[in-house]
Structure 1
Amino acid sequence: MTLETTLGMLLQADLARLDHPSFNTMFTGFSRRWQCQLFVKVFASDRFGKFSTERTVNEQLNNRVLMSSQLATGEWVLVMRDLPMTPLSAELTPELAQQMGSVLARFHRTVHLPAATNQPSMVMTKINGLRQAPAYPQLLKLQHLYESQLPVIETELRQVKPVVLHGDAGCRNYQLVNGSLVLIDFERAHLGVPQVDFQKLFYQDFAGDQSLQQAFLNGYGPLPALSSLTSSWLTFQSAVGILSYVQRLPDPEFERVAQRMLQTVIDQLS
């Protein structure tokens, strides 16, 4: 049987596959078993960590999770109540940006994950996987510039109390549900420095707009102080992560976000 047929029988639902660029497979449909609309997220057998994190965070924040299980074929399935979600307006305002900052701050204060969820820096490993990418020589040069400063950077980062980062806090993962602004999609959540969660949002969705950035920071509240060196290192890590992602799921626009990040890093180091 196909995955869709297997799930349909298990959940007593007529499911439709969602067309969305992702490493996961997702479905929606009405379930006769639970008498509600479902959102079903299927993770490959080797993505248990992502599956477990998504389930854990949802269980802490809401009552959406209905069941979770592993199929005989190895995939991990998370079944949740679907929500009537409305995407953010394409036109962002400082007022909305401030709300977004408040929502992310609440997420950082509320969610808890075991220390094992901390993701150590794997920048060099990711750079090695980008040997065929046009940016590879530039990445290697920047990595060499940071190497002598890494003990200083790591010492500074150890002084910062880690929070659970959302891991993908872009506009697409902010949604309006019954008029309230919420975050969704938690599989990339992990422990880290708060500022890491701002990178993609500021460079991609806010496109460097200082008024939106400042409004977001006003909504977020106090942050741990970081040196310009450490701040640039966090930006560098984010850029490498994006380039690694687009190598597997090509996205020219997202790749340009990484290039803007790298230019910022170069300017800060020069």
Structure 2
Amino acid sequence: MHWGTSGLRDEQVAFLQSVFDDPVLVADDSWGLLDTRVLHVRDAAGDYVVKASGQDNAHFPRELAAHRDGWTSVLGRRTSRLVAADEDARVLVLDRLPGRLALGSPHEHDPDVHRQAGTVLRRFHQQSAREDPQYLHRERDKALRLLDDPHRIDADTAERVRALFEAWVPHPVTVVPTHGDWHPRNWLVDRGRLLAIDYGRFALRPAATDCTRLAVLYWERRPELERAFLDGYGEDPRDPEDWRWLQLREAVGTAVWAHAVHDEAFEAQGQRMLRDALTAF
């Protein structure tokens, strides 16, 4: 295989040459928003996903920690297995899961798939829990810093959001291992069975944070999907008071980050999230 067409750096290619024997590049599955390269590679032993990124990419260490530190093992064959990694070169190799991406397929709005998503996520969350007295403080401070970054939130809205966060007095919360981007873009479905991918936003957070994308993208318009998810999860992890703050923080982060990476559709979503979140105040 000629890695020169892959967009990888020399040290990343050198590492992959030590991992694979006569590999073939099947497809480039990169999203294109960040500097992460996602490659479908095949050799005599099977199919793999290669994920490589730049030195400043925050997603790489999170995904590596999720796999290397054993957090993903609780899901068994419902998620990928880490095959090899080079932390310095910032490249990892995962076994490639079968199935079809739920996003853009009939599975995207299938209540049974959303029920499975609740069940799988509950298993991931339940493996650990601890109290974090500073989590909400950090999120409040992060939101305020983000409002100082370039964005296209209108001035009156930004000032209102800033005033709300500055007046907020956070409290300790329970944090669990979270996926961080839990919705159909990161679900595969293989013969009706949901599989999970992409732990680039893995972190210890309140369980409810893994509901934020689903709530905005699906539950507002399809309440039957919310019911199916919660049926699979077994309870609603959202505390109403904390939830409104988490939604507001997520909305700010989405609008500012999407603007920074020039994703206008995602930025528009962030702006909608912000308007919706503010109705709770």
TM-score (ref. length: structure 2): 0.78
The answer for the alignment partner of 1:209 in structure 2 is 222
The answer for the alignment partner of 2:271 in structure 1 is 259
The answer for the alignment partner of 2:81 in structure 1 is 64
How many percent identity over aligned positions?
24
Task: Note the alpha carbon deviations across 1:32-69, whole angstroms, 9 max, x for none.
Answer: 4xx21121001222345234324334455446221111
Name the aligned partner's letter for residue 246 of structure 1: A
Question: Counterparts of 2:159 and 2:216 in 1: how far apart (Å)?
Answer: 22
What SS class does the counterpart of residue 126 from structure 2 fall into? helix
Q: 1:26 to 1:206 in 2, by over 3 A?
A: same
The answer for the alignment partner of 2:127 in structure 1 is 110
CA contact (8 A) 1:94 1:212 kept: yes
Offset of 1:252 from its aligned partner?
3.0
Q: 1:133 to 1:247 in 2, by over 3 A?
A: same
Task: Note the alpha carbon deviations across 1:11-32, whole angstroms, 9 max, x for none.
Answer: 2312243342342111122124
Question: Counterparts of 2:94 and 2:247 in 1: how far apart (Å)?
Answer: 34
5+ residue gaps, structure 2: none
Match of 1:17 among 24, 28, 34: 28
What SS class does the counterpart of residue 129 from structure 1 fall into? coil
CA contact (8 A) 2:74 2:124 kept: no
Offset of 1:123 from its aligned partner?
0.9
The answer for the alignment partner of 1:43 in structure 2 is 53
5+ residue gaps, structure 1: none
CA contact (8 A) 1:53 1:188 kept: no
Which has the larger displacement, 163-172 or 139-148? 139-148
Question: Counterparts of 1:204 and 1:126 in 2: how far apart (Å)?
Answer: 22
CA contact (8 A) 1:109 1:163 kept: yes
The answer for the alignment partner of 1:249 in structure 2 is 261
Task: Note the alpha carbon deviations across 1:141-192, whole angstroms, 9 max, x for none.
Answer: 21202322x21xx22xx1x421111100011111113542122111211111
What SS class does the counterpart of residue 268 from structure 1 fall into? coil
Question: Counterparts of 1:219 and 1:59 in 2: how far apart (Å)?
Answer: 20
Q: 1:60 to 1:18 in 2, by over 3 A?
A: same
Offset of 1:126 from its aligned partner?
1.3
Question: Counterparts of 1:77 and 1:234 in 2: how far apart (Å)?
Answer: 32
The answer for the alignment partner of 1:180 in structure 2 is 193
Q: 1:220 to 1:41 in 2, by over 3 A?
A: same
Offset of 1:99 from its aligned partner?
2.1
Offset of 1:259 from its aligned partner?
2.4
- Matching of residue 133 in structure 1 with residue 133 in structure 2: no
Offset of 1:260 from its aligned partner?
2.5
Match of 1:142 among 141, 158, 161: 161
The answer for the alignment partner of 2:178 in structure 1 is 165
Question: Counterparts of 1:93 and 1:17 in 2: how far apart (Å)?
Answer: 28
CA contact (8 A) 1:173 1:184 kept: yes
CA contact (8 A) 1:84 1:178 kept: no
- Matching of residue 99 in structure 1 with residue 112 in structure 2: no
Offset of 1:98 from its aligned partner?
2.0
Question: Counterparts of 2:149 and 2:227 in 1: how far apart (Å)?
Answer: 35
CA contact (8 A) 1:68 1:79 kept: yes
The answer for the alignment partner of 2:94 in structure 1 is 80
- Matching of residue 238 in structure 1 with residue 246 in structure 2: no
Question: Counterparts of 1:51 and 1:214 in 2: how far apart (Å)?
Answer: 29
Q: 1:82 to 1:174 in 2, by over 3 A?
A: same
Name the aligned partner's letter for residue 42 of structure 2: F
Q: 1:178 to 1:81 in 2, by over 3 A?
A: farther
Task: Note the alpha carbon deviations across 1:110-141, whole angstroms, 9 max, x for none.
Answer: 3789x8xx7931111111113x4244541332
CA contact (8 A) 1:173 1:185 kept: yes
Q: 1:246 to 1:224 in 2, by over 3 A?
A: closer
Question: Counterparts of 1:226 and 1:98 in 2: how far apart (Å)?
Answer: 20
